[in-house]
Chains A and B, each alone.
Chain A
């Protein structure tokens, strides 16, 4: 009988919690349609897409300077792509190693996990100091890139570890003992099983790197990435163009999520067909 009261109460509470999570963003999205003369607050003077045009450089020049998104967006995408490739490969290799027992597994596990735990501002500072001492120029594709991998590689590793934990090694051994070469076995047996994990690892790495900011702050050097360009506008007064940017970048993240979902569905759908074939024979 207590549960009968508790359940709806908690349901309402969870609804309020979701409002707390999404409320600010909903307000931000509404305000991004503010008219040209309007400020970054209510009331909406007139609905318009002016600030989107302003963001994309389509509006005539105004007293509000345009957000520096063009080049920094390309840099962020390139950086995220590089990070995704390297951290997924490293994560898969390390997780593969953890399928067997070996000495020093504990320390190595914690060493990798430390990458996602250690605050960005700390490694960023360390990397900046290191590059000063060694005499390397800081740039987004060198010093910032290696730090992005330090951050995303543990995520890729954990995702792959979870996949490998459920992956029976005897399937591979069966293939090997039937005379299939190791490279063929990897392509035909191992890879199809770990593919969902690889896809998740890539999604994690890309999103985290695209949005990464604390590690990049001290290590990007002269050319800014997208989050740095946005952060630069924080100190001055904000305008609704930053809200318009927020909506667009969120849509971009969601489209990545949708692509991921579609690929995942397609893949698992295929496996379902294989199961059906097995049942027939």
Chain B
């Protein structure tokens, strides 16, 4: 703010427009430098550190800055770690599809069928409110739901649908999938609802007047216009699921090992170089997913 006043009047050979542009540039630089510096020092530098340390030499309890590809060779040669990559990708794909399939009809209802503004907002807020509650509590809340003596088994037994409690519900891959789907569904519903609610009602009316069935309207109008929301939602869900470890740690009973869990356990046993290798692999996967999604939609335009 002060730069506007402090800047001395430059010589007149510059046009006012040019002068203003230069001034704007200086002002932007001044305002942005603290943030950019912060992100560079505390985000980019640590990420570079992960890549760098992945080539360090791992001894029993420490790492030495002697460059080697040992950790990488060990990582890529170990079935445990390769399985973790597979598990991560599988869980990611399933959760992504599940959030989309479960979330899309909700977004469709809130965005398209609820025309009352107040009700629409209220429903959207109801979907978003869980986001404000503690993540760990939302994870732990699935334990009394899914356990052998949990609410779901209890209800199913009372209804006479099953004789013995289902044991696959908790401490399995299933519980991780259910937990993640519930926790991250919000991030799919939000962006899609936003895009659908923005569709001009007169377009749909026009289609109706021309005799289009709902199926046609959905396929030709609603679905294409909601796609940016799907992509943004998918980016959110993907990034969060790929970097996950807490849900798997607390709901799978150590049966599901994601790359995140590998990192946590390696850091726990001071194997920094292995943790770094897992981190780089994770980064590559996430970067690939985001790049792919950003090819489909320009995030900055949508915001």
Which residues of A pack against B, CB within 8 Å? Answer: 2-3, 6-7, 10-11, 13-14, 17-18, 20-25, 27-28, 31, 39-42, 90-91, 93-94, 96-98, 100-103, 106, 108-115, 117-123, 125-130, 132-133, 146-147, 149-150, 153, 157-158, 161-162, 176, 181-183, 186, 207, 211, 213-214, 217-218, 227, 230-231, 234-235, 238, 242-243, 245-246, 249-250, 253-254, 256-257
CA distance A150 to B127 in the complex (A): 26
- B66 close to A (CB within 8 Å): no
Q: Is the beta-carbon distance between B286 and A130 smaller than 8 angstroms?
A: no
Q: Is the beta-carbon distance between B102 and A28 smaller than 8 angstroms?
A: no
Q: Is the beta-carbon distance between B137 and A182 smaller than 8 angstroms?
A: no
With beta carbons under 8 angstroms apart, the residue of B185, B260, B300 that contacts A21 is: B185
Q: Is the beta-carbon distance between B300 and A106 smaller than 8 angstroms?
A: yes
Interface hub of B137, B138, B250, B283 (most chain A Cβ within 10 A): B137
Min CB distance, A154 to chain B, in Å?
A: 9
Q: Is the beta-carbon distance between B32 and A253 smaller than 8 angstroms?
A: no
Min CB distance, B253 to chain A, in Å?
A: 10
Q: Is the beta-carbon distance between A121 and B141 smaller than 8 angstroms?
A: no
CA distance A244 to B293 in the complex (A): 41
Q: Is the beta-carbon distance between B31 and A126 smaller than 8 angstroms?
A: no
- B182 close to A (CB within 8 Å): yes
Residues of B with C-beta under 8 A to A250: 133-134, 137
Residues of A with C-beta under 8 A to B272: 129, 132
CA distance A17 to B214 in the complex (A): 23
Contact with A along B103-133 (1 / 0, CB 8 A): 1011011100100000000010011001011
CA distance A122 to B287 in the complex (A): 13
Residues of B with C-beta under 8 A to A257: 132
With beta carbons under 8 angstroms apart, the residue of B108, B140, B235, B282 that contacts A122 is: B282
- B9 close to A (CB within 8 Å): no
Q: How large is the interface on B (under 10, 10 to 19, 20 to 34, 35 or more residues)?
A: 35 or more
User: Contacts A118-B47, A146-B42: A2 and B215 contacting too (C-beta < 8 A)?
Assistant: yes
Interface hub of A21, A108, A182, A245 (most chain B Cβ within 10 A): A21
Interface hub of A10, A101, A227 (most chain B Cβ within 10 A): A10
Min CB distance, B66 to chain A, in Å?
A: 14
CA distance A23 to B155 in the complex (A): 13
Contact with A along B21-39 (1 / 0, CB 8 A): 0001101111110111011
Select from chain B the residue with minimum beta-carbon distance to A234.
Answer: B250
Select from chain B the residue with minimum beta-carbon distance to A17.
Answer: B106
Residues of A with C-beta under 8 A to B44: 111
Min CB distance, A53 to chain B, in Å?
A: 19
User: Contacts A2-B214, A130-B49: A183 and B1 contacting too (C-beta < 8 A)?
Assistant: yes
